[in-house]
Chain A
Amino acid sequence: MATDQALHGLDNLEVGPGAGRGVSSGRAARKTWAATWPKLLAVLLVLAVWQVVHLSGWKKLVLKGPGTVLPDLWQMAHHALIWQAIGVTMQRAALGYVLALIFGTVIGMLVARIPPLRAALGSIITGLQTMPSIAWYPFAIILFTAGTDAILFVMIMGGAPAIANGLITGVDYTPPILLRAGRTMGLRGLTLYRYLVLPASLPAYMAGLKQGWAFAWRSLIAGELIVSIIGPPGLGVLLNTDESNLDFAGTTSVIIVLLLIGIVVDMIFTKADLAVRRRRGLLDPAAAT
């Protein structure tokens, strides 16, 4: 049939060949290199500036150059202490983040769905988000005494509002045309939420999750610096000890470790975010390939 053929022809013309699917290994390697060299260059630049400052003699007595600190970091990597500290801190990070995620998601969902709750809590959530989480520590320590509980509490106070806000934004920005389509299909109440509103909110929710992580992570490290806990030390405690010993190399090494953890976690979030956006066609194809 003529219509049939014309339509198929048009479809194939408009969709085009599956471009950019089979990427050769050579091209993949070039792509990796293109993504890597600017980062390497940035690291080298930082090291160079550091070395120059060190050579200038500024704060000569305490400021060590990369030539001292990097071997120290290397030494540290061969001892169990730092790995144990990373383990302790990451365990707390995971627990605190999951708690913040649960609280943030539940509160966000309730606030987005129940108008009086939004009127009551909407601005409080935003207010909490702008509050420096370190300000919660005196309160938390009085409430829970100094310990992991206090840290977890502050992590929740730091992370949950951002996560809730991300979800609320996502729900608010659900395109009305999709809601109309969903209602026409007969989606109502909770099913409307499950199949339409929540998936539609995912990009904004992911942004909230990422921001929530940043807040929770900061709260955690601040907590480990402030709250003295019995038991194996976390990264914050190591920082504290190094500071007491005026150990510049040790302090700097721990900071580098914190930075590396931050970068790795950020990469994970970015990757997840890219995957969501690519699936929904929210990426500029020229930039995405």
Chain B
Amino acid sequence: MRVGNDRVTPPPRSAGASALSEPMLAGQAGLANQAGRAGERNIAVELAEVSKAYGTGASRLLALDGVSLTVADGEFVCIIGASGCGKSTLLNLVAGLDKPTGGQVDTGGRRVGLMFQEPALFPWLTAGRNVELALRARGVPRTPRREQTRELLETVRLSGFADKRPHELSGGMRQRVAMARALALDADVLLMDEPFGALDAMTRDLLHEELERICAERTLTVLFVTHNVREAARLGDRVIVLSSRPGRVIAEYEVPRHGPRRIDSTEVAQMAGQLTDRLREEMGRHGN
């Protein structure tokens, strides 16, 4: 651990009596706490001292530097950070689209689905066919494929839109088709790279609720990257803050849950405030 990096760890989630968990400075306590959590539930995603560098020599760029984190089964973890914190790199590594330069990424053989800020739907296919292609890629036979496609579109509440092409749908609807497609992979772990970043606030609020519902129905583990602090505070069980260039874990907050949250609740606003302060501190470091 480096000097100046205050690893902030939360109290155990069961002890969350206060509205907000006070982040506390921790040295070894942080690691001990992580180990403790791992004992409680199965670990879905584990990153151990993961580094990723691009290029060589003078143009070598260190995107991630010794990132360690664990995500338990069924947990919703948000990752925030300013530009250049290697958020997307991190997700690519977990998704297995890229190999780390150092360290280990372990998902214990779980299926991993990935969603981006862009829906990245195939424009030549209808919404239904887009979802169906993911099933086909997984080797689902033709007959159950039709049925499952119908169910998945129902899950994201787009039953009537199977025959529409992506360009005929709104941004929020496209993102829901992308979600259905990610779910079609029968993923245990859903990696989301700023999935609602391009949507208007009203649509985003609704999709937050939808995402929560779907995660609860399917006991999904989610690793959710965003640079919207409110979104992180609204959705996460835990929020991890990454530093910029290179990306390191500099703080970690547990968000206590007392029933359904709203983006405009004081609870969320307070947590968002804390996250903002921490992020500004980090950005300031790059100001000189």
Whether a CB of chain B sits under 8 angstroms from the CB of A56 is no
Residues on A with C-beta less than 8 A from B95 are: 184
Taken residue by residue from 162 to 194, chain A's Cβ proximity to chain B (1 for < 8 Å, 0 otherwise) reads as: 000000000000010110110111110001000
For the complex, what is the distance from the CA of A7 to the CA of B172, rounded to whole Å? 10
Q: How far is the CB of A61 from chain B (nearest CB, A)?
A: 58
Whose C-beta in chain A lies nearest to the C-beta of B203? A10
Q: Which residues of the partner chain A approach B168 to less than 8 Å between Cβ atoms?
A: 15, 281
**Contact residue among B121, B138, B172 (Cβ-Cβ distance under 8 Å from A186):** B138
**Across the interface, which residues of B come within 8 angstroms of A4, CB to CB?**
157
Confirm or deny: A8 has a beta carbon within 8 angstroms of a beta carbon on chain B.
Answer: yes
Interface residue range, chain B: 35 or more
Contact digits for B137-176, partner A, Cβ 8 Å, 1 yes 0 no = 1100000000000000000011001001111111011000
**Nearest Cβ in chain A — how far from B55, in angstroms?**
18
- Determine the distance from Cα of A11 to Cα of B137 in the docked complex, in whole angstroms: 29
CB nearest to A191 among chain B residues: B137
- Give the contacting residue for B124; candidates A11, A185, A202; CB below 8 A: A202
> Are A279 and B165 also in contact (CB < 8 A) when A7-B157, A181-B116, A186-B137 are?
yes
Judge whether B206 and A199 touch: CB under 8 Å: no
Assembly CA distance A12 to B177 (angstroms):
16
> Is A123 located at the chain interface by the 8 A CB criterion?
no
Residue of A nearest to B187 (CB): A184
Report if B1 contacts A (CB, 8 A).
no
Contact-residue size bin, chain A (C-beta under 8 Å from the other chain): 20 to 34
Q: Is the Cβ of A184 less than 8 Å from the Cβ of B113?
A: yes
Which residues of A65-87 have CB atoms within 8 Å of chain B's CB atoms? none
Chain B 178-193, CB-CB to A under 8 Å as 1, else 0, gives 0001100100000000
Note all chain B residues with C-beta closer than 8 A to A281: 123, 165-168
Interface string of B82-114 (1 = CB under 8 A from A): 000000000000010100000000000000111
Q: Which residues of A contact B172 (CB under 8 A)?
A: 10-11, 14
Q: Is B237 an interface residue (CB 8 A)?
A: no
Whether the Cβ atoms of A6 and B173 lie closer than 8 Å is: no
B209 part of interface (Cβ distance < 8 Å) = yes
CB distance from A205 to the nearest CB of B (A): 12
Best-surrounded residue of B122, B165, B209, B210 (most CB of chain A within 10 A): B122
Contact of A280 among B97, B124, B134, B209 (CB under 8 A): B124
Least CB separation from A187: chain B residue: B137
Question: Is B15 engaged at the interface, CB distance under 8 Å to the other chain?
Answer: no
**A/B interface sample: 10 pairs, CB < 8 A:** A3-B209, A3-B213, A11-B170, A178-B122, A180-B114, A180-B116, A181-B122, A200-B122, A279-B124, A280-B167
Known: A7-B206, A184-B112. 17 other contacts (CB 8 A): A8-B157, A11-B157, A14-B169, A14-B172, A15-B173, A175-B120, A177-B116, A181-B116, A185-B134, A185-B138, A187-B137, A195-B133, A195-B136, A199-B124, A276-B124, A279-B165, A280-B165
